[in-house]
């Protein structure tokens, strides 16, 4: 793991550069083949494939495929955490803190704060109305064709951007951690994800995510204990030592003692991440409301039996995700203290060996040696697999359940046929993911995760809230208003610095802020409202008349579909 290599695209690929400041560019150099990591990852694959085999035996119908036959709120919470905490958060946040200090925590909070919104506004209603996909919920009282088509298009868009970022990130990460060529890495990820989803459906996906979450949380906890033991279990000592290390570095760089002290102190406060308040708030709202509109997260609500367990799922998910982000913060400071002056980990110029995202990897080596480094590398790989499996399943269900069974077959599809369509879709998605991973290998995909969040926040979230909570919402309002949200979020992102300048190379952006959400979300709400109140069609009358029955069911769960087959 010593070969000098400037990565960057890793962070980029995994989406941590959504803020303007964190963009890093550069090539990724392949590392020597790391057999410890590969063997440990092989163990993870063996266990998950065994689970997939068992799940496959139980996956007999569409309900099994989409919901996995039911798990508890606690298990689902862990699976949600496994679905949500990417390898990027682990490597990206810790490295960002290692370099700049505090700012990593601002990201982390943004990624956590959407969960209460999901809980308060949509969770129980979603569970009470839906069966397999969030489109079941938004189309409940509307004409199925337009609203499901909108939901399916939106799902595919969000999933595609998220998936491309994950695939490119996976290829680079695995090159880095395992020393395998990019193409191998991409094919392994695409192939395994296909096997999990194809044979094991939601049951296997859930367990892959649960096992991964447990591995990630245990590994990070062990590392934090190592860090805290090093500083005598005092946070004050941790921060004081980190500042002392940064001061020493600044002095070595030739700064005067006063300047060095000030520069070192800066790691304890917010730095360059938040420049203008509008971008900051807009990005924050995209993260917060986007979480409440991510199709692969919303789909997880249908794996639990009722609203009660759905609420517990979120509480547990929030506990684990919050805990995880708190750990990453400590790990970032731990890395400053423990690896900054070790020539094994840092070169003469103070840069991390192996690339900008390696801080936590070096820390793992410093604390637990080669074996633990192998374990953490395997965890990072498992993390990517768990995330892409969840994404694939939600895209497959959008095509088979929403487009094929509900729109094309008007709800009269043969369930066996629907299951076959989901499996064919899974294979196609796996192949598409591998191809996209190859096509985008050298591209700047930094904007893709934040774009996925912005689309989810501007398309899915407003449609979900309005269809659930506003009597006056109509088919046209939901389908077209949601479309306005998607289009405006996409258009403004293209015109913003993250694409217009960083990807297309223009000098000045037309839309000056890094995230569109602060504008596109209200615009979507406005469009849904306006189109709905102007809608005088006969269908609109049916839509409005359907509200009381939908409301009753969403509040009480009378007539709820079970998570298991029935």
Partner 1 sequence: MSTSDHDGTAIEARVAADPRYAALVRDRQRFSWILTIVTVVTYSSFISLIAFDKPLMATPIGSGTTSLAVVLGFAMLVGTVAICAIYVRRANGEFDARLAAILADEAA
Between helix 144-178 and helix 475-495 the angle, nearest 10°, is 30
| Nearest of 384, 378, 342, 383 to residue 363 by alpha carbon | 342
| Nearest of 118, 302, 324, 355 to residue 219 by alpha carbon | 324
Number of Cβ atoms within 10 Å of the Cβ of 145? 15
Among 214, 255, 266, 487, indicate the residue that binds partner 1 (CB under 8 A). 266
Nearer to partner 1, 9 or 243 (CB): 243
Site string for partner 1, 93-132 (x = CB under 8 A): ---------x--xx-xx--xx-xxx-xxx--x--------
Among 3, 308, 416, 442, indicate the residue that binds partner 1 (CB under 8 A). 308
Nearer to partner 1, 27 or 558 (CB): 558
Among 306, 424, 487, 529, indicate the residue that binds partner 1 (CB under 8 A). 306
Nearer to partner 1, 331 or 361 (CB): 331
Among 329, 440, 470, 529, indicate the residue that binds partner 1 (CB under 8 A). 329
Residue with token string 């919050």: 322
Nearer to partner 1, 264 or 339 (CB): 264
Taking the complex as a whole, the smallest distance from the CB of residue 324 to partner 1 amounts, in Å, to: 10
Greatest pairwise CA separation for the chain in angstroms: 76
Q: Is 564 in the site for partner 1 (CB under 8 A)?
A: no
Among 49, 240, 526, 542, indicate the residue that binds partner 1 (CB under 8 A). 240
Whole-number Å distance between alpha carbons of 420 and 400: 9
CA angle at residue 295 from 84 to 78, to 5 degrees?
35
Whole-number Å distance between alpha carbons of 334 and 202: 37
Write the CA distances from 74 to 80, 164, 214, 242, 311, integer angstroms: 10, 30, 12, 36, 10
Binders of partner 1 among residues 269 to 288 (CB under 8 A) are 269-271, 274, 276-277, 280-281, 284, 288
Whole-number Å distance between alpha carbons of 353 and 437: 26
Q: 368-401: buried (b, 16+ CB within 10 Å) or exposed (e) per residue?
A: beeebbbbbbbbbbbbbbbbbbbbbbbbbbbbbb
Q: Is 539 in the site for partner 1 (CB under 8 A)?
A: no
Nearer to partner 1, 108 or 331 (CB): 108
Whole-number Å distance between alpha carbons of 178 and 539: 57
Q: Is 548 in the site for partner 1 (CB under 8 A)?
A: yes
Q: Supply the DSSP symbol for 346.
A: B
Nearer to partner 1, 372 or 461 (CB): 461
CA angle at residue 72 from 68 to 74, to 5 degrees?
125
Whole-number Å distance between alpha carbons of 173 and 358: 10
Give the tokens for residue 299: 């789909």
Q: Is 265 in the site for partner 1 (CB under 8 A)?
A: yes
Nearer to partner 1, 249 or 479 (CB): 249
Nearer to partner 1, 153 or 292 (CB): 292
Q: Is 236 in the site for partner 1 (CB under 8 A)?
A: yes
Phi, psi of 26 (to 5 degrees): 150, 175
Taking the complex as a whole, the smallest distance from the CB of residue 238 to partner 1 amounts, in Å, to: 9
Q: Is 560 in the site for partner 1 (CB under 8 A)?
A: yes
Among 230, 312, 420, 471, indicate the residue that binds partner 1 (CB under 8 A). 312
CA angle at residue 178 from 174 to 182, to 5 degrees?
40
Taking the complex as a whole, the smallest distance from the CB of residue 500 to partner 1 amounts, in Å, to: 23
Nearer to partner 1, 6 or 240 (CB): 240
Q: Is 259 in the site for partner 1 (CB under 8 A)?
A: no
Q: Supply the DSSP symbol for 181.
A: -
Among 318, 400, 406, 532, indicate the residue that binds partner 1 (CB under 8 A). 318
Q: Mention every residue, 6+ apart, whose C-beta is less than 8 A from residue 417.
A: none
| Nearest of 351, 369, 378, 373 to residue 361 by alpha carbon | 373
Among 188, 192, 243, 452, indicate the residue that binds partner 1 (CB under 8 A). 243
Give the tokens for residue 306: 């009722």
Nearer to partner 1, 275 or 416 (CB): 275
Taking the complex as a whole, the smallest distance from the CB of residue 346 to partner 1 amounts, in Å, to: 22
Backbone region of residue 255 per phi and psi (left: phi > 0; alpha: psi in -120 to 50; beta: other values): beta
Q: Is 545 in the site for partner 1 (CB under 8 A)?
A: no
Q: Is 435 in the site for partner 1 (CB under 8 A)?
A: no
Count residues near partner 1 (CB under 8 A).
55
Taking the complex as a whole, the smallest distance from the CB of residue 234 to partner 1 amounts, in Å, to: 10
Binders of partner 1 among residues 206 to 235 (CB under 8 A) are 235
Nearer to partner 1, 261 or 428 (CB): 261
Taking the complex as a whole, the smallest distance from the CB of residue 356 to partner 1 amounts, in Å, to: 23
Binding stretches for partner 1 (CB under 8 A)? 102, 105-106, 108-109, 112-113, 115-117, 119-121, 124, 235-236, 239-240, 243, 265-266, 268-271, 274, 276-277, 280-281, 284, 288, 306, 308, 311-312, 314-315, 318-319, 322, 325-326, 329, 548-549, 551-553, 555-560
């Amino acid at each position: 793991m010593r070969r000098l290599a400037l990565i960057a695209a890793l962070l980029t690929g995994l989406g941590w550069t959504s803020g303007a400041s964190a963009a890093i560019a550069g090539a990724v150099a392949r590392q020597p083949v790391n057999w410890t990591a590969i063997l440990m990852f092989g163990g993870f694959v063996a266990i998950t494939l065994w689970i997939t085999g068992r799940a496959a035996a139980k996956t007999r119908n569409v309900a099994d495929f989409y919901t996995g036959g039911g798990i508890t709120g606690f298990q689902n919470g862990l699976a949600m955490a496994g679905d949500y905490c990417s390898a990027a958060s682990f490597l990206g946040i810790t490295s960002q803190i290692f370099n700049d200090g505090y700012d990593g925590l601002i990201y982390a909070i943004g990624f956590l704060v959407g969960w209460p919104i999901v809980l308060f506004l949509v969770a129980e209603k979603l569970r009470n109305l839906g069966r397999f996909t969030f489109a079941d919920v938004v189309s409940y009282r509307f004409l199925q064709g337009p609203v499901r088509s909108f939901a399916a298009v939106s799902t595919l868009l969000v999933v595609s951007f998220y998936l491309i970022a994950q695939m490119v990130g996976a290829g680079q990460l695995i090159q880095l951690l395992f020393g395998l060529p990019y193409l191998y890495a991409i094919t392994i990820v695409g192939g395994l994800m296909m096997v999990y989803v194809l044979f094991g459906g939601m049951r296997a996906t859930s367990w892959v995510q649960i096992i991964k979450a447990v591995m990630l949380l245990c590994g990070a906890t062990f590392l934090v204990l190592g860090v805290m033991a090093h500083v005598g279990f005092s946070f004050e000592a941790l921060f004081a030592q980190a500042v002392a290390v940064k001061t020493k570095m600044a002095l070595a760089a030739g700064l005067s003692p006063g300047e060095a002290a000030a520069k070192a102190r800066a790691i304890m406060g917010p730095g360059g991440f938040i420049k203008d308040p509008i971008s900051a708030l807009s990005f924050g709202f995209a993260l917060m409301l986007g979480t409440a509109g991510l199709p692969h997260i919303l789909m997880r609500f249908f794996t639990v039996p009722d609203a009660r367990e759905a609420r517990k799922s979120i509480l547990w998910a929030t506990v684990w995700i919050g805990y995880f982000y708190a750990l990453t913060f400590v790990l970032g400071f731990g890395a400053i203290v423990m690896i900054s002056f070790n020539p094994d980990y840092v070169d003469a110029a103070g840069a991390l060996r192996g690339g900008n995202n390696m801080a936590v990897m070096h820390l793992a080596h410093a604390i637990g040696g080669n074996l633990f480094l192998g374990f953490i590398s395997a965890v990072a790989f498992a993390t990517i697999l768990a995330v892409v499996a969840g994404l694939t399943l939600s895209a497959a269900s959008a095509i088979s359940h929403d487009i094929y069974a509900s729109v094309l077959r008007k709800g009269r599809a043969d369930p066996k046929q629907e299951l076959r369509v989901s499996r064919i879709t899974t294979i196609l998605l796996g192949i598409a993911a591998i191809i996209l991973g190859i096509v985008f290998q050298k591209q700047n995909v930094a904007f893709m995760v934040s774009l996925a969040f912005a689309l989810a926040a501007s398309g899915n979230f407003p449609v979900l809230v309005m269809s659930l909570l506003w009597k006056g919402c109509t088919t046209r309002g939901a389908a077209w208003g949601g479309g306005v949200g998607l289009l405006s979020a996409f258009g403004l992102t293209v015109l913003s610095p993250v694409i217009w300048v960083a990807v297309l190379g223009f000098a000045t952006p037309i839309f000056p802020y890094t995230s569109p959400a602060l504008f596109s979300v209200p615009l979507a709400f406005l469009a849904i409202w306006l189109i709905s109140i102007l809608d005088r069609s006969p269908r609109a009358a049916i839509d409005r008349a359907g509200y009381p029955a939908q409301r009753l069911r969403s509040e009480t769960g009378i007539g709820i579909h079970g998570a298991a087959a029935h």
